[in-house]
Amino acid sequence: MADYDLIILGGTVHDGLGSAPRLADVAVKDGVIAAIGTVTGTSKQTLDAHGLLVTPGFVDVHTHYDGQATWEQRLTPSSGHGVTSVVMGNCGVGFAPCKPAQRDLLVKVMEGVEDVPEVVMTEGLPWNWETFPEYLDALAARCFDVDVAAQLPHSALRVFVMGERAATQEPPTAQDLASMRQLTTQAIRAGALGVSTSRNLLHRTKAGALAPSLFSDEDELGALADGLKDAGRGVFQIIPAPMGDAVSEFALMRRLAERSGRPLSYTLIQMPTGDEAAWRQSLAALSDAARDGLQMRAQVAPRPVGMFYGLELSFHPFAYHPSYKAIKHLPLAQRVARMRDPAFRAQLLSEQAEDTNPVNLKTVKAFQYAFPWGQEVDYEPQPADRIDVRAKAAGRSVEDYAYDLLLADEGRAMFYQPGANYRDGNLNAVREMLGHPHTVVGLADGGAHYGMICDASFPTYYLVRWARDASVDQRIPLPQAIAALTSEPAALAGLADRGRLAVGYKADINLIDLDRLKLHVPTVAHDLPANGRRMRQLADGYVATILSGTVTYLQGEPTGATPGRLVRGSAHLSR
């Protein structure tokens, strides 16, 4: 009988805590790390890690796999980028709790807020739950290529308690608030890692109706905080109003953290326009809160919070023009053929976008601020290459110029618009936010925005951009960068048994060829339920990814193993 299930030989081991790396072997037995150092003995499997980084598996605390986890076992794109644990149920949106009559509303909210097509959810969701504990039980019966953990989404909770009143301006009654508090406590005790909400007015259904959580005042948010306090566990995750006053938004979040007595995490971004001081004001308030003993963390994206445009994707400049809407159901090749017809072109260019959702209209108009992408990724494009600048230089209107760009590569051309975190053509604000002691890398949004965003690849980008290729004045030391992807998000979520390489901890491990680490340009696949479309972004350099001691990816390819399970908060190890 073998001494170990797996031995990883001779790698450069990073413990995930920011310590200096060391050359060592790592042995795994029964899903946990059994030894680190010079390992002798036999094993069922051996991996040669000479010349490779050996790191903990990455932990992603901001995903939306709430639906995908009910119909798929592979939680891509995240699992292809070294991620071994994901936390879903962010931004206040999800599918539980939910009564049968409320399913359509939650689907429409998810469709609008997270760009998951309605038909995909209609065909994919099994709806074998009503309460949140039942939803967790349904997930517990499944297996995945990563571990999954869930948060209680506020919009779903509000609809469950208030019914149709949840989507109107009608305030909750005292009984409504009491029910929300009790159900929050119930969800945490059943294993939810926390509760989430959103104050972002961009979060709407596809038709333009606000997400239910946006009708909430502080007393309702306080009921959620009270539910966490009653449970004595859990994290409050919140999307503050991005256009709101940074000082007052932080003050509200601070009151919620004080009221719950629990950790609180929130989204922090640099807006592309408006008050440049807002994010710094938020960081200053975060520092003050930490000095006062509050456990508050800001989730920061390591690259621009942007989106892609294209004829294969959810948005492009003509997506809501009447003539285009008449052909949008056609296969791509047929749409391209119609758009090459001079008469169709003239008609389309004479029209204006029409839609009931102002966010959709704003999004298509923002195409002018996008940049064409070729065969290499470029998340920091030069301002001179922006479409409106190039159109002006060519003496053409943005619409006329964009029309030809869209038809490149038989309609498969993609365009990237770096929105937040990209100002004056640089990522200086991102580096400053990442360097704050109370921020955590997040906002990957895996499982959402299938036709416009592919940020689940950010662990790869983060290591390449900030730890390997950054200039000396901006570089994040590699041990610190690995800690930012492992132990720090694990600690935020309360996942105390992972995120580090130490004896007795969960054997979630990456073997990485840092020199070869590279992101590819996203591609489009039609592999969701109902032949739904999504973006995928592959990477080179991941030699192996190991979950609970089992190899799930080898040389970038899935092995087919699915050792991932639901992680319940109540089952966390205490260390």
Sorted by where each begins, the domain ranges of the chain are: 4-56+522-559, 58-304+422-464, 308-420
Is 323 buried (19+), middle (13-18) or exposed (0-12) by CB count in 10 A? middle
Are residues 108 and 115 in contact, defined by beta-carbon separation less than 8 angstroms?
A: no
Residue 276 has a pLDDT of: 82
Residue 570 has a pLDDT of: 59
Which residue ranges of the chain lie beneath pLDDT 70?
570-575
3-state helix, strand, coil in the chain (%, to 5): 40, 20, 40
CATH (residue range 4-56+522-559):
2.30.40.10
Residue 242 has a pLDDT of: 80
Backbone angles phi, psi at 89, to 5 degrees: 85, 25
What are 308's two structure tokens?
Answer: 């892609």
What are 233's two structure tokens?
Answer: 């566990």
Q: Whole-model pTM?
A: 0.96
Strand pairing category for 83-88 and 58-60: parallel
Residue 573 has a pLDDT of: 37
**In the structure, how many helices (H) and strands (E) does the chain have?**
20, 25
Q: In angstroms, how far is the first alpha carbon of the chain from the final one?
A: 31
| CA nearest neighbour of 546 among 141, 55, 62, 74 | 55
Strand pairing category for 4-13 and 43-48: parallel
What is the helix (H) or strand (E) element at residue 528, kind and residue range?
strand 523-528
Question: Identity (one letter) of the amino acid at 208?
Answer: G
Same topology between domain 4-56+522-559 and domain 58-304+422-464: no
351-404 pLDDT, tens per residue? 999 999 998 999 999 999 999 999 999 999 999 999 999 999 999 999 999 999
CATH superfamily, domain 58-304+422-464, is Metal-dependent hydrolases (3.20.20.140)
With tokens 């949106």, the residue in question is 93
Residue 575 has a pLDDT of: 30
